[in-house]
Structure 1
Amino acid sequence: MLSFTGNLSIIILTLADSHLKTAMYFFLQNFSFLEISFTSACIPRFLYSISTGDGTITYNACICQLFFIDVFGVTEFFLLATMSFDRYVAICKPLHYMTIMSYRVCKRLVFCCWMTSLLIILPPLSLGLDLEFCASNAIDHFACDANPMLKISSSDTWLIEQMVIVCAVMTFLMTLVCVMILSYMYIIRTILRLPSAQQRTRAFSTCSSHIMVVFITYGSCIFVYIKPSAKDEMAINKGVTLLTTSISPMLNPFIYTLRNKQVKQAFNDLVKRFKLL
Structure 2
Amino acid sequence: MSQKNQTHVTFFIIKGISEVPGLQVLVFFLVLLLYLITLSGNLTILLLVCLDKKLHNPMYFFLGNLSILDVFSLSITLHKILFTFISGDKTVSFLGCMAQMYIFSSLTCNELLMLTAMSYDRYVAICNPLHYHMVMNRRVCALLAIICWVLGFIEVVPHMWAISKFTCYKSNEINHYFCDILPIMKLSCSDTTILKLVIFIEGLLLVSFTPFLFTFISYIYIIATILQITSNIGRRKAFYTCSSHLTVVIILYLSLVCQYLRPTSTDTLDSNKVFSLFNTAAVPVLNPFIYSLKNKDVKLSFRRQLKSLKSLKFASL
Common fold, TM-score beyond 0.5? Answer: yes
In the TM superposition, what is the alpha-carbon distance from 1:163 to its structure 2 partner? 0.7
* Amino acid corresponding to residue 72 of structure 1 in structure 2: L
Which portions of structure 1, spanning 4 or more consecutive aligned residues, are displaced by more than 6 angstroms? none
Matched with 1:157 is: 192
Secondary structure class of the residue paired with 1:194: coil
In the alignment, the residues of structure 1 paired with residue 248 and residue 169 of structure 2 have an alpha-carbon distance, to the nearest angstrom, of 41
Q: Does 1:35 align with 2:75?
A: no
Matched with 1:108 is: 143
In the alignment, the residues of structure 2 paired with residue 131 and residue 185 of structure 1 have an alpha-carbon distance, to the nearest angstrom, of 43
Matched with 2:227 is: 192
- Provide closer, same or farther for how the CA distance between residues 155 and 199 of structure 1 changes in structure 2, counting only shifts above 3 A: same
> In the comparison of the two structures, how many residue pairs are matched?
275
In the alignment, the residues of structure 2 paired with residue 228 and residue 134 of structure 1 have an alpha-carbon distance, to the nearest angstrom, of 21
Q: Does 1:176 align with 2:212?
A: yes
Contact 2:229–2:235 (8 Å) recurs in 1: yes
Matched with 1:221 is: 256
Matched with 1:271 is: 306
Q: Does 1:245 align with 2:245?
A: no
Matched with 1:131 is: 166
Secondary structure class of the residue paired with 1:217: helix
Q: Does 1:254 align with 2:303?
A: no
* Amino acid corresponding to residue 17 of structure 1 in structure 2: D
Relative to the length of structure 1, the TM-score reads 0.95
Q: Does 1:66 align with 2:70?
A: no
Contact 1:88–1:187 (8 Å) recurs in 2: yes
In the alignment, the residues of structure 2 paired with residue 118 and residue 41 of structure 1 have an alpha-carbon distance, to the nearest angstrom, of 15
* Amino acid corresponding to residue 226 of structure 2 in structure 1: I
Q: Does 1:19 align with 2:54?
A: yes
In the TM superposition, what is the alpha-carbon distance from 1:264 to its structure 2 partner? 1.0
In the TM superposition, what is the alpha-carbon distance from 1:94 to its structure 2 partner? 0.4
Secondary structure class of the residue paired with 1:57: strand
| Greater mean deviation of Cα atoms: 232-241 or 60-69 | 232-241
Contact 2:107–2:153 (8 Å) recurs in 1: no
* Amino acid corresponding to residue 154 of structure 2 in structure 1: L
Coordinate RMSD, CA, aligned: 1.4
Matched with 1:45 is: 80
Secondary structure class of the residue paired with 1:141: coil
In the alignment, the residues of structure 1 paired with residue 165 and residue 209 of structure 2 have an alpha-carbon distance, to the nearest angstrom, of 29
In the TM superposition, what is the alpha-carbon distance from 1:172 to its structure 2 partner? 1.4
* Correspondence for 2:270 among 231, 235, 248: 235
* Correspondence for 2:113 among 75, 78, 88: 78
* Amino acid corresponding to residue 183 of structure 2 in structure 1: P
* Amino acid corresponding to residue 274 of structure 1 in structure 2: L
Matched with 1:92 is: 127
In the alignment, the residues of structure 2 paired with residue 214 and residue 270 of structure 1 have an alpha-carbon distance, to the nearest angstrom, of 29
- Provide closer, same or farther for how the CA distance between residues 97 and 193 of structure 1 changes in structure 2, counting only shifts above 3 A: same
In the TM superposition, what is the alpha-carbon distance from 1:145 to its structure 2 partner? 0.5
Give deviations 1:187-246, integer Å, cap 9, x for gaps. 00000000110000000000000111011000111112121426x422232112101111
* Amino acid corresponding to residue 124 of structure 2 in structure 1: V
Relative to the length of structure 2, the TM-score reads 0.84
Unaligned stretches of 5+ residues in structure 2: 1-35, 313-317
| Greater mean deviation of Cα atoms: 7-16 or 262-271 | 262-271
Contact 1:6–1:250 (8 Å) recurs in 2: yes
Give deviations 1:148-176, integer Å, cap 9, x for gaps. 11221232222112212322211211011
Secondary structure class of the residue paired with 2:268: helix
Unaligned stretches of 5+ residues in structure 1: none
Query: Identical aligned pairs, as a percentage?
Result: 37
Contact 1:227–1:233 (8 Å) recurs in 2: no
In the TM superposition, what is the alpha-carbon distance from 1:3 to its structure 2 partner? 0.6
In the alignment, the residues of structure 2 paired with residue 70 and residue 62 of structure 1 have an alpha-carbon distance, to the nearest angstrom, of 12
